[in-house]
Structure 1
Amino acid sequence: MSRNAVLFALMCLVWGLTWLPIKVGAQHVPPVFLAASRFVIAGTLMLAWAGRDVLKVPAAAWPRVVMTALLLNTGNYTLLFWGTAQAPTGLAAIVNFATIPIFTIIASYLIEGHAIGGRKLAAIGLGAVGLGFLFSTRALGGLAAAKGGPLELWGLAAVAAGTLLYCFGAVWSRPVMGRIPTLTLAGWQTLIGGFGLCLMSALLEDVKPAHFAALVSWPVLPAVAVLVIGGSLIGFTIYLRLVRDWGAFRAGLYAFISPAVAVGAGVFALGEPFGPAEAIGSLLMFGAAAIALKR
């Protein structure tokens, strides 16, 4: 097995397992506060890692960097962390990963004018059916069958909405990607998004001094460490290498593996339900993602 194949497996494992610490951490501190802590720390470390490249941002690019940071990280992760705190982590991961290719098609059409052909329309349609199926199982009996909370449906909807913001932010980032070193761009977007998350947490959540103390206590401290080191630093670094060596298509196949890891972690570690209804909806969404990702 090649080194890149091993790194790909590690990336899939890390990104699949990051949903677990979100759920665990959000049981002890407010979820948006947890997201803000992760991104402020991760952004600071990324920019320190970028070294002398940290200031290589053209003045004309700053408005777009700030705007995309607020979409990619502030808006997306406000919704994603809150949604994951309410819904099963496995389903949240599936909604997130499987809709990225579909929402990217829509964002590319609206922003860049890329045509949507028959194959892409099929992906959007199948993805919408799968998403609707997952939502309906939570709204029409799935809640009772799964013994879930009353906010599960809204949690999954929040994850989907956050993913849509992420995809628009990613497409809007394309014009500056070739003008700014990749790690520098990601670091500034992460840090600015983290500051935005701090503001959202202050506006939406009742953050107390005890929550700051919890950040350096069990189990929140290891949860934040996994999110920062695993999800942001290790996972992102591996992904950049794989995009360079394999191309975006092959590297993007993590979208089919990481959700399975997340489902397994949720079932075995947290006892989350995953029955036939969830499996059918997930297969529909993975099918849509496969169509959207086809070369």
Structure 2
Amino acid sequence: MSLRTSSTTADRNALLFLALACFWGTSFVAIETGLEYFPPVLFAGVRYVLAGLVILAYAVATTDRWIPRTRAEWLSAGVAGLFVIAAYHALAYLGQMHVSAPVAAVVVSLSPVLTAVFAAAMLDESLDAVAGVGFLLGVLGVVIVANPDPANFLSSNLLGIVLVLLGAASFALGSVLTAPLRTTLPTESMQAWAMLIGAAVLLAVSAARGESVAAVELTLPALVSLGYLTLVSGVVSYLIYFALLDRVGATEINLVGYLQPVAAAVTGWALFGQVVDATTLVGFLVIFLGFGLVTRETLRARLFGRPAAVPDGAATTRTDGGYDAD
């Protein structure tokens, strides 16, 4: 490969990376907008019914197999649908009723750190002392963002952050649980079924909460929000994600999570005049530092071309999960 071709490929990957970060970061603002007009869990359910159907149609048109055949394939789609789609988005949407889009994006940026910790606990992957410090820094970052008031410990803001944090933990757990369930089903097909299964769970939870379709206000902002989340943050971003995953790997893709809060902050400021305070910024930087410590060996290998040190007995299962966190 010529130097010029290599440079062109790198530039293209960088543009796709930035586009993905913007699409997923602005999704937090789109969610905040849509929550003015939709009941939260119903909103998430409708979004994933539509996105799942679009991606399933894409899988039918472009892959040689779009229906799971084995129990392992259905189990993988079911686990992803339950944890990565349903639980994560139900908790995140409920949480965003109490916190702003930029704050939610910062809390969700802890997900890669949680993924590494769950992998260490469940897949027999080693987590050394430095990585342990990184995890604690990630948790500290979330505490800084929450900035709990002892005089009003059960505040609405804290409740929202806890819900979003639980959602991020569910996403990370689902990513780890699906790691040993890798199958030969094309990723497009697997993603579509995970979305549809997750959507079914979300709609069932919505009904159990007493959410009503009659409460939906079909205004122009509502339709724009739903359309953006379905087509741009869902379908288009999904296609970009897997293209980049094949080109640059899971560690680099995880870095998207640390540009999402920037996109959410800029969009929130432009549309709603939201300003990210110094406390939230400090919390984000602490979370990012924690991520750097947890993944330092892999980052060193990517940046400097050195082999990543793998502790004795550590598994090498990829734990990105193949799903977006938006």
Superposition TM-score, scaled by structure 2 size = 0.82
Q: How far off its partner does 1:291 sit?
A: 2.1
Q: Which residue of 2 aligns with 1:79?
A: 91
Query: CA 1:7–1:285 in 2, change beyond 3 Å: closer, same or farther?
Result: same
CA–CA separation in structure 2 for the residues paired with 1:184 and 1:76 = 20
Percent identity among equivalent residues? Answer: 24
Q: Which residue of 1 aligns with 2:30?
A: 21
Q: How far off its partner does 1:257 sit?
A: 1.1
Contact 1:89 1:263 in 2 (8 A): yes
Q: Does residue 116 in structure 1 map to residue 127 in structure 2?
A: yes
CA distances 1:18-53 after superposition (whole Å, capped 9, x unpaired):
111100100111111110111111111111111142
Query: CA 1:104–1:35 in 2, change beyond 3 Å: closer, same or farther?
Result: same
Q: Which residue of 2 aligns with 1:106?
A: 117
- SS at structure 1 position matched to 2:37: coil
Q: Which residue of 241, 244, 256 corresponds with 1:242?
A: 244
Contact 1:177 1:185 in 2 (8 A): no
Q: Which residue of 1 aligns with 2:316?
A: none
Q: Which runs of 4+ in 1 moved over 6 A?
A: none
> Aligned-pair RMSD on alpha carbons?
2.0
Q: Does residue 67 in structure 1 map to residue 79 in structure 2?
A: yes
Q: Which residue of 1 aligns with 2:67?
A: 55
CA–CA separation in structure 2 for the residues paired with 1:261 and 1:292 = 24
Q: Which residue of 171, 176, 184 corresponds with 1:166?
A: 171
**Structure (1 or 2) with the larger CA radius of gyration:** 2
CA distances 1:241-261 after superposition (whole Å, capped 9, x unpaired):
111011112222212211111
CA distances 1:108-160 after superposition (whole Å, capped 9, x unpaired):
1222121111221011111111111122x2535899xxxxx941211111111
Contact 2:79 2:178 in 1 (8 A): no
Contact 1:56 1:181 in 2 (8 A): no
Query: CA 1:23–1:67 in 2, change beyond 3 Å: closer, same or farther?
Result: same
Contact 2:72 2:183 in 1 (8 A): no
Report the residue type matching 1:36 in the other structure.
G
Q: How far off its partner does 1:234 sit?
A: 1.1
CA–CA separation in structure 2 for the residues paired with 1:95 and 1:142 = 20
Q: How far off its partner does 1:232 sit?
A: 1.1
Q: How far off its partner does 1:4 sit?
A: 1.7
Q: Which residue of 2 aligns with 1:258?
A: 260
Stretches of structure 1 that go unaligned for 5 or more consecutive residues are 144-148
- SS at structure 1 position matched to 2:229: helix
Q: Does residue 223 in structure 1 map to residue 228 in structure 2?
A: no
Q: Does residue 207 in structure 1 map to residue 219 in structure 2?
A: no
CA–CA separation in structure 2 for the residues paired with 1:9 and 1:142 = 39
Q: How far off its partner does 1:174 sit?
A: 1.5
Q: Which moved more, 1:87-96 or 1:57-66?
A: 57-66
CA–CA separation in structure 2 for the residues paired with 1:139 and 1:27 = 27
Q: Which residue of 2 aligns with 1:129?
A: 140
- SS at structure 1 position matched to 2:220: coil
Q: How far off its partner does 1:179 sit?
A: 2.5
Q: How far off its partner does 1:60 sit?
A: 3.7
Query: CA 1:205–1:150 in 2, change beyond 3 Å: closer, same or farther?
Result: farther
CA–CA separation in structure 2 for the residues paired with 1:61 and 1:178 = 6
CA–CA separation in structure 2 for the residues paired with 1:64 and 1:250 = 24
- SS at structure 2 position matched to 1:53: coil
Report the residue type matching 2:156 in the other structure.
L
Q: Does residue 41 in structure 1 map to residue 50 in structure 2?
A: yes
Report the residue type matching 1:173 in the other structure.
T
Report the residue type matching 2:128 in the other structure.
G
- SS at structure 2 position matched to 1:253: helix
Stretches of structure 2 that go unaligned for 5 or more consecutive residues are 1-7, 299-326
Q: Which residue of 149, 158, 177 corresponds with 1:139?
A: 149
Contact 1:103 1:167 in 2 (8 A): yes
Q: Which moved more, 1:112-121 or 1:52-61?
A: 52-61
Contact 2:39 2:215 in 1 (8 A): no
Greater share of residues in helix: 1
Q: Which residue of 2 aligns with 1:154?
A: 159
Q: How far off its partner does 1:177 sit?
A: 2.7
CA–CA separation in structure 1 for the residues paired with 2:200 and 2:182 = 22
Superposition TM-score, scaled by structure 1 size = 0.90
